[in-house]
């Protein structure tokens, strides 16, 4: 079973811009920390992370609106 | 519009098809309405290598009289970089670029810039322009200033 953990136990907010310029939003380590896997066996480990705009609408490299500003290079892209 | 939110979610999955989705992750993009940035030379800035010089479109002049190793210039002392949202959206930095279009990075070895400090290799004579691009959070909003640099010459 994969469950939510840490900061992901409630809605998350971040701010980009002002005088910070473009910056890393979520590191790989931060993303990993959002989830906990109850079974430690290797075959149960998380193998991919995907970005979604809604519950059913996955973010893909074809997105050209503001979502394109999210660098999804470390996430799975089925588009 | 000064700010805009992007909401997304992260789904994790394993090879067995087990998944979990985070709650909403909201990213607020601020300063997206910046439309201009203006650089203004600071007269009497106290930077010894910098001279007032506005001929032929030059913003100012950097004059290094003798050959050496490296020299540095504090760009924050020489000019101000102000957007049309001066209170909360300043310039995000300076890039050294190849010409006044600001589209290509500088490819030479004489100049480099980090955190508003310009470093100049003074080991060889040089006379020519240096183009510095003042950046904002919006990629298409910037200003390029042309500076005349003389190393070991007039």
Q: A54 CA to chain B: closest CA distance, Å? A: 7
Test mutation, B12, B133, B142, chain A, max A CBs within 10 A: B12
Stated length of chain B: 154
Which pair of structure tokens corresponds to residue B151? 């190393």
Q: B114 CA to chain A: closest CA distance, Å? A: 15
User: What would the pLDDT profile of A3-14 be if each residue is shown by its tens digit?
Assistant: 999 999 999 988
Indicate if the pLDDT at residue A21 is higher than 70.
no
Residue-range domain boundaries for chain B:
37-151
Please state, in angstroms and rounded to a whole number, the distance separating the CA atoms of residues B82 and B144.
13
Determine what percent of chain A is predicted with pLDDT higher than 70: 73
The complex's ipTM works out to: 0.85
Test mutation, B14, B29, B134, chain A, max A CBs within 10 A: B14
What CATH superfamily classification does B37-151 receive? Immunoglobulins (2.60.40.10)
Is B142 in contact with B105 (CB distance < 8 Å)?
no
Which pair of structure tokens corresponds to residue B131? 């183009």
User: What would the pLDDT profile of B19-78 be if each residue is shown by its tens digit?
Assistant: 999 999 998 888 888 899 999 999 999 999 999 999 999 999 999 999 999 999 999 999
Please state, in angstroms and rounded to a whole number, the distance separating the CA atoms of residues A2 and A36.
6
Task: Please name the residue of chain B whose CA is at the shortest distance from the CA of residue A9.
Answer: B23
Chain B residues within 8 A of A20 when measuring between CB atoms: 92
Query: pTM of the entire structure?
Result: 0.66
3-class SS shares of chain A: helix, strand, coil, % to 5? 25, 25, 50
Indicate if the pLDDT at residue A28 is higher than 90.
no
Whose structure tokens read 């005349």?
B148
């Amino acid at each position: 079973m994969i469950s939510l953990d840490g900061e992901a136990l409630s809605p998350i907010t971040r701010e980009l811009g002002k005088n910070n310029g473009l910056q890393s939003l979520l590191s790989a380590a931060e993303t990993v920390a959002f989830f906990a896997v109850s079974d430690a066996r290797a075959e149960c480990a998380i193998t991919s992370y995907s970005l979604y705009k809604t519950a059913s609408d996955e973010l893909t490299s074809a997105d050209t609106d503001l979502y394109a500003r999210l660098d999804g290079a470390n996430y799975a892209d089925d588009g | 519009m000064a700010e805009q939110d992007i909401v997304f979610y992260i789904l994790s999955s394993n090879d067995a098809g087990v998944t979990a989705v985070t709650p909403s992750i909201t990213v607020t993009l601020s300063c997206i309405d910046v439309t201009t940035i203006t650089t203004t030379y600071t007269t009497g800035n106290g930077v010894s290598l910098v001279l007032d010089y506005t001929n032929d479109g030059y913003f100012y002049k950097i004059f290094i009289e003798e050959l050496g190793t490296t020299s540095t210039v504090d760009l924050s002392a020489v000019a101000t970089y102000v957007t049309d949202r001066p209170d909360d959206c300043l310039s995000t930095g300076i890039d050294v670029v190849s010409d006044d279009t600001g589209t290509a990075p500088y490819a030479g070895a004489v100049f480099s810039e980090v955190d508003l400090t310009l470093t100049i290799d003074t080991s060889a004579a040089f006379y020519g322009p240096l183009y510095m691009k003042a950046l904002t959070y919006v990629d298409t909003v910037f200003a390029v200033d042309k500076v005349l640099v003389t190393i070991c010459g007039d």
